[in-house]
């Protein structure tokens, strides 16, 4: 929350460039370079396109494509024609900020058009280097419209196919399983139904006096037969006691279970104000837990990230998503996002993240479950005292290369043959957690 | 027919019981608590809000720290002997637009050892790798989506010095947003060491 007000300022300066295009700039460059670019009009300008290609990939491709596509900066197709000339381009590439500062109208116009993002300066590039890069751009963008387009499309299609496949793969696994389970359930239910029908037939034959041979079972209505059957069943003392005992057993079990679940929130998965997915961020993109939960190595709490950490990426990407627009709204109104706490320890129990994560080397997943697979975070562990104690009894202390433990280990060896556990160094002391 | 009535009652009770227990607790429900006055904090806990706070403007226990607050425990004031950057480390007060100043005056106060480099690598893995990639080529999983992430070993980047890198981590540059709030200066300097290693390609 502390950075909210600062962010408001930063937001107004924020990068407003959003990229619709999905094609990877580097890929399309590579594809273009690989095309049969025989005719090189750039050769006339005296640049070495081969050398230029390497320089382009290394220095420019992160922000520029050789086509019309805007990556971060403008697409460079036809850059020689639309700019004031080669000398200007050389000056610009070496030190664009100086050109802008000099008040050059074209430079200022481009700078403003692309949201005032400063292009890096490349003072180390020689005139020949820059000419080579320009030659490469000419070669890659100009002659082979068809090949570039074709390759680009093929790639786009390939990429689309791959992502669709991925989507199907992730959705396909569970859905297939789901259908299988459904079919299996259906079969089981049909079997049960069949068995029940058989039982009903047998019972009705046994109970109904009409079935003994009069040949007129239809005269006795079903309700009457049922009533008679029930009366017989109720009058049967064995059956009655079985039912009563079963009832007492079920009630007792449910009561005991209910009592044990008091104060335990296992399975709690509240709906959050913003549908943030750990599965996407921590699972698919493999962003380290520490990146957002910055306190986890340093303090008691792991920290819920403030909005500025969201903005580190979402200041640029996925800005149009309605969920991310909620972050923007919160920042603009200087209003905190009220996330719902999932893991609630009682106030009388002390827990410290740094102690467990940094010193104890406990993985986040040990207590929180497979967070990187959760769309909505759920409390997986019971967080009861028994659960804590159990882990303290089982976990060995990593005493290797740590002089702090030397004497403790020596003392412990005298008393026991077991390795040194957390319980042996005070992990079961009441006052460690309750004070 | 008393027996008949007890029979019906028993059946009804079992039905009620089955119906009552078949429904599991809702995912949005924390369930029953025995003694909430013992479980809920009495003091103002920033991360545990039970009832609205009447003192703070937003009704939350959490609030912005006073302007200019520096969290002292996280800040080393000295690294080794007689370095000149101690004050800057306490409050890194070089403004965002003065990157040239940072390049001129700042040098890494942490002497480079194998251990600090190793720590730098771990910290790089936590805070940088998803965009800048394992080898600093700008090819991290997020970086590919984010676009415009440079390679550390590119000509324009491979000679960037301590002050420059420290300043960029703190305040951001170009498309990169400020990361100063997530790392202590000490951690940033260790990352700087590791980035220097990656600049060599």
Say what the pLDDT of residue B74 is: 56
- Please give, rounded to a whole number of angstroms, the shortest distance from the CA of A323 to a CA of chain B: 18
How far is it, in rounded angstroms, from Cα B107 to Cα B124? 19
Interface of B with A in 107-136 (CB under 8 A): 125-127, 129-130
- Please give, rounded to a whole number of angstroms, the shortest distance from the CA of A421 to a CA of chain B: 27
CA distances B19 to A428, B13, B22, B23, B35, Å, are 42, 10, 5, 7, 28
* A378 part of contact set with chain B, CB < 8 Å: yes
**pLDDT digit string (tens) for chain B, length 201 residues:** 455 566 677 677 667 666 655 556 778 888 888 888 888 888 888 888 888 888 888 888 888 888 877 776 556 555 555 544 444 455 577 888 888 888 888 888 788 899 999 999 999 999 999 999 999 988 899 988 888 888 888 877 888 898 899 999 999 988 899 998 898 888 898 999 999 999 987
Beta bridge partners of B45: B48
How large is the ipTM? 0.84
CA angle B33, B34, B35 (to 5 degrees): 100
Question: With the CA atoms of B11, B13, B14 and B20 taken in that order, what torsion angle do they form, in degrees rounded to the nearest 10?
Answer: 150
Q: Are residues B92 and B186 in the same domain?
A: yes
> What six digits make up the tokens of A310?
């969201």
Say what the pLDDT of residue A31 is: 39
Q: Which residue has the higher pLDDT, A406 or A54?
A: A406
Please report, rounded to a whole number, the percentage of residues in chain A having pLDDT higher than 90: 35
- Please give, rounded to a whole number of angstroms, the shortest distance from the CA of B157 to a CA of chain A: 9
Average pLDDT, chain A: 79
Is residue A121's pLDDT more than 50?
Answer: yes
CA distances A223 to A202, A204, A215, Å, are 17, 12, 19
* A117 part of contact set with chain B, CB < 8 Å: yes
pLDDT category at A192 given cuts 50, 70, 90 is very high
- How would you write B43-60 as a 3-class SS string? CCECCECCCCCCCCCCCC
Say what the pLDDT of residue A150 is: 41
CB nearest to B65's CB, from A2, A234, A262: A2
Q: Return the sign of the alpha-carbon dihedral for residues A44, A46, A50, A53.
A: negative
CA angle A239, A243, A249 (to 5 degrees): 145
Is residue A417's pLDDT more than 70?
Answer: yes
Residue A356 Ramachandran class (φ > 0 left, ψ -120 to 50 alpha, else beta)? alpha
Q: Are residues B109 and B51 in the same domain?
A: no
Summarize the confidence of residues A44-59 as an average pLDDT: 75
> What six digits make up the tokens of A426?
């005070």
**Looking at the domain assignment, is residue B177 inside a domain?**
yes
Summarize the confidence of residues A147-159 as an average pLDDT: 41
Q: Are residues B127 and B45 in the same domain?
A: no
User: What domain range is B44 assigned to?
Assistant: 33-63
**Looking at the domain assignment, is residue B89 inside a domain?**
yes
Percent of residues in chain A assigned helix, strand, coil, to nearest 5: 60, 0, 40
- Tell me phi and psi for residue A329, to 5 degrees: -60, -45
Q: Is A212 exposed, middle or buried (0-12, 13-18, 19+ CB in 10 A)?
A: exposed
From B156, B123, B136, B129, select the one nearest B196 (Cα to Cα): B136
Most B CBs within 10 Å: which of A4, A71, A316, as the mutation test of the B interface? A316
Are A421 and A393 in contact by the 8 Å Cβ rule? The answer is yes
CA distances A335 to A329, A369, B60, B180, Å, are 8, 31, 10, 22
pLDDT digits (tens, 9 = 90+) for A293-334: 999 998 899 989 989 999 999 988 888 899 999 999 999 998
* A401 part of contact set with chain B, CB < 8 Å: no
Q: Are residues B150 and B98 in the same domain?
A: yes
Between the two ends of chain A, the Cα-to-Cα distance in Å is: 30
Structural domains of chain A sorted by starting position, each given as residue range(s) with its CATH number in brackets: 4-143 (1.10.760.10), 171-260 (no CATH), 391-435 (no CATH)
* B3 part of contact set with chain A, CB < 8 Å: yes
A163-167, A413-417, B8-12: lowest mean pLDDT where?
A163-167
How far is it, in rounded angstroms, from Cα A386 to Cα A40? 76
How far is it, in rounded angstroms, from Cα A273 to Cα A278? 14
Query: With an 8 Å Cβ cutoff, are B142 and A287 in contact?
Result: yes
**Looking at the domain assignment, is residue B10 inside a domain?**
no
Query: With an 8 Å Cβ cutoff, are A313 and B142 in contact?
Result: yes
- Please give, rounded to a whole number of angstroms, the shortest distance from the CA of B81 to a CA of chain A: 26
**Looking at the domain assignment, is residue B164 inside a domain?**
yes
Q: What residues in A contact B182, CB-CB < 8 Å? A: 291, 294, 309
Q: Are residues B38 and B81 in the same domain?
A: no
Query: With an 8 Å Cβ cutoff, are B48 and A347 in contact?
Result: yes
Residues 6+ apart with CB under 8 A from A153: none
- Please give, rounded to a whole number of angstroms, the shortest distance from the CA of B12 to a CA of chain A: 11
CB nearest to A335's CB, from B58, B65, B159: B58
Are A30 and A65 in contact by the 8 Å Cβ rule? The answer is no
Q: Return the sign of the alpha-carbon dihedral for residues A317, A323, A329, A330.
A: negative
How far is it, in rounded angstroms, from Cα A386 to Cα B120? 38
Are A331 and A7 in contact by the 8 Å Cβ rule? The answer is yes
**Looking at the domain assignment, is residue B143 inside a domain?**
yes
CA distances B132 to A27, A217, B142, Å, are 18, 84, 8
Q: Are residues B93 and B155 in the same domain?
A: yes
Q: What residues in A contact B147, CB-CB < 8 Å? A: 19, 25, 62-63, 71-72
Interface of A with B in 18-37 (CB under 8 A): 19, 24-25
Q: What residues in B contact A71, CB-CB < 8 Å? A: 147-148
Q: Are residues B132 and B154 in the same domain?
A: yes
Q: What residues in A contact B62, CB-CB < 8 Å? A: 1, 336
Is residue A385's pLDDT more than 50?
Answer: yes
User: Which secondary-structure segment (H or E) carries B180?
Assistant: none
Q: Are residues B39 and B119 in the same domain?
A: no
- Tell me phi and psi for residue A166, to 5 degrees: -55, -45
How crowded is residue B167: how many other Cβ atoms within 10 Å of its Cβ?
A: 25
- CATH number of the CATH domain containing B143: 1.10.760.10
pLDDT category at A366 given cuts 50, 70, 90 is very high
- Please give, rounded to a whole number of angstroms, the shortest distance from the CA of B198 to a CA of chain A: 15
DSSP letter, residue A14: -
Say what the pLDDT of residue A380 is: 92
Is residue A16's pLDDT more than 60?
Answer: no
Q: What residues in B contact A24, CB-CB < 8 Å? A: 144
Query: With an 8 Å Cβ cutoff, are A347 and B30 in contact?
Result: no
Q: Are residues B40 and B78 in the same domain?
A: no
- Please give, rounded to a whole number of angstroms, the shortest distance from the CA of B47 to a CA of chain A: 7
> What six digits make up the tokens of A163?
């992502």
Q: Are residues B164 and B99 in the same domain?
A: yes
How far is it, in rounded angstroms, from Cα B93 to Cα A108? 30
Interface of B with A in 9-38 (CB under 8 A): 10, 13-14, 17, 21, 25, 27-34, 38
Is residue A372's pLDDT more than 60?
Answer: yes
Q: What total of structural domains would you count in chain B?
A: 2
Q: Are residues B84 and B182 in the same domain?
A: yes
Query: Could you give the residue ranges of the DSSP H alpha helices within B23-152?
Result: 36-39, 86-90, 99-105, 114-127, 129-132, 141-146
- In the three-class reduction of DSSP (H, G, I as helix; E, B as strand; rest coil), residue A298 is classed as coil
**Looking at the domain assignment, is residue B24 inside a domain?**
no
How far is it, in rounded angstroms, from Cα B108 to Cα B89? 10
Is residue A88's pLDDT more than 90?
Answer: no
Query: With an 8 Å Cβ cutoff, are A262 and B64 in contact?
Result: no
Going through A282-406 in order, the beta strands assigned E by DSSP cover none
Query: With an 8 Å Cβ cutoff, are B147 and A4 in contact?
Result: no
Residue of B nearest to A56 (CA): B154
Q: Are residues B93 and B182 in the same domain?
A: yes
Beta bridge partners of B176: B173
Most A CBs within 10 Å: which of B147, B153, B180, as the mutation test of the A interface? B147
CB nearest to B47's CB, from A233, A263, A301: A301
A231-245, A323-337, A372-386: lowest mean pLDDT where?
A231-245
pLDDT digits (tens, 9 = 90+) for A34-48: 333 334 444 445 677
pLDDT digits (tens, 9 = 90+) for A236-248: 888 889 999 999 9
Say what the pLDDT of residue A15 is: 33
Are B141 and A285 in contact by the 8 Å Cβ rule? The answer is yes
- Please give, rounded to a whole number of angstroms, the shortest distance from the CA of A141 to a CA of chain B: 20
**Looking at the domain assignment, is residue B139 inside a domain?**
yes
Say what the pLDDT of residue A55 is: 83
* B144 part of contact set with chain A, CB < 8 Å: yes
Q: What residues in A contact B125, CB-CB < 8 Å? A: 288
**Looking at the domain assignment, is residue B113 inside a domain?**
yes
């Amino acid at each position: 929350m502390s950075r909210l007000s600062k962010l408001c300022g930063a937001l107004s300066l924020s990068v407003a460039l959003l990229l619709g295009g999905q094609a990877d700039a580097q890929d399309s460059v590579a594809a273009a370079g690989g095309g049969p670019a025989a005719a090189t009009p750039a050769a006339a300008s005296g640049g070495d396109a081969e050398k230029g290609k390497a320089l382009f990939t290394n220095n420019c491709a992160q922000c520029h494509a050789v086509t019309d596509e805007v990556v971060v900066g403008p697409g460079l197709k036809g850059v020689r024609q639309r700019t004031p000339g080669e000398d200007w381009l050389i000056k610009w590439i070496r030190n664009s900020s100086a050109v802008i500062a000099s008040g050059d109208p074209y430079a200022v116009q481009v700078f403003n058009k692309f949201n005032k993002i400063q292009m890096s300066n490349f003072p180390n590039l020689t005139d020949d280097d820059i000419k080579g890069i320009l030659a490469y751009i000419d070669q890659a963008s100009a002659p082979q419209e068809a090949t570039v387009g074709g390759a680009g499309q093929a790639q786009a299609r390939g990429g689309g196919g791959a992502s669709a496949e991925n989507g199907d793969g992730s959705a396909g696994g569970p859905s297939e399983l789901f259908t299988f389970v459904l079919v299996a359930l259906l079969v089981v239910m049909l079997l049960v139904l069949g068995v029940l029908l058989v039982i009903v037939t047998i019972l009705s034959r046994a109970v109904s006096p009409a079935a003994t041979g009069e040949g007129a079972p239809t005269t006795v209505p079903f309700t009457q037969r049922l009533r008679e059957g029930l009366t017989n069943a109720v009058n049967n003392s064995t059956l009655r006691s079985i039912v009563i005992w079963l009832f007492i057993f079920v009630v007792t079990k449910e009561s005991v279970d209910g009592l044990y679940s008091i104060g335990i929130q296992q399975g709690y998965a509240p709906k959050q104000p913003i549908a943030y997915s750990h599965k996407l961020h921590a699972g698919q993109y493999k962003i380290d837990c520490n990146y957002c939960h910055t306190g986890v190595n340093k303090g008691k709490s792991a920290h819920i990230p403030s909005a500025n950490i969201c903005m580190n990426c979402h200041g640029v990407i996925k800005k149009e998503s309605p969920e991310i627009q909620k972050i923007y709204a919160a920042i603009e109104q200087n209003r905190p996002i009220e996330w719902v706490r999932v893991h609630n320890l009682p106030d009388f129990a002390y827990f410290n993240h740094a102690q467990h994560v940094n010193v104890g080397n406990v993985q986040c997943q040990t207590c929180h479950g497979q967070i990187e697979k959760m769309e909505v975070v759920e409390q997986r562990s019971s967080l009861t005292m028994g659960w804590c104690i159990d882990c303290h009894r089982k976990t060995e202390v990593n005493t290797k290369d740590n002089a702090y433990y030397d004497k403790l280990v020596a003392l412990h060896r005298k008393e026991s043959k077991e390795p040194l556990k957390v319980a042996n160094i005070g992990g079961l002391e009441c006052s460690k957690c309750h004070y | 027919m008393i027996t008949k009535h007890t029979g019906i009652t028993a059946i009804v009770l079992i039905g009620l019981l089955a119906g009552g227990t078949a429904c599991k607790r809702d995912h949005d429900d924390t369930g029953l608590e025995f003694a909430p006055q013992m479980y809920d904090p009495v003091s103002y806990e920033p991360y545990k809000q039970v009832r609205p706070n009447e003192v703070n403007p937003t009704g939350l226990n959490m609030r912005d720290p006073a302007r200019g607050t520096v969290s002292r425990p996280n800040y080393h004031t000295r690294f080794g002997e007689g370095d000149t950057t101690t004050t800057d480390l306490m409050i890194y007060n070089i403004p965002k637009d003065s990157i040239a100043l940072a390049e001129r005056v700042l040098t890494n106060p942490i002497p480079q050892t194998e251990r600090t480099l190793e720590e730098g690598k771990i910290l790089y893995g936590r805070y940088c790798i998803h965009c800048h990639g394992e080898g600093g080529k700008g090819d991290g999983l997020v970086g590919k989506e984010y676009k415009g992430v440079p390679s550390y070993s590119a000509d324009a980047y491979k000679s960037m010095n301590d002050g420059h890198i420290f300043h960029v981590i703190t305040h951001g540059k170009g498309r990169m947003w400020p990361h100063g709030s997530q790392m202590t200066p000490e951690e940033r300097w260790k990352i700087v060491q590791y980035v220097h290693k990656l600049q060599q390609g």
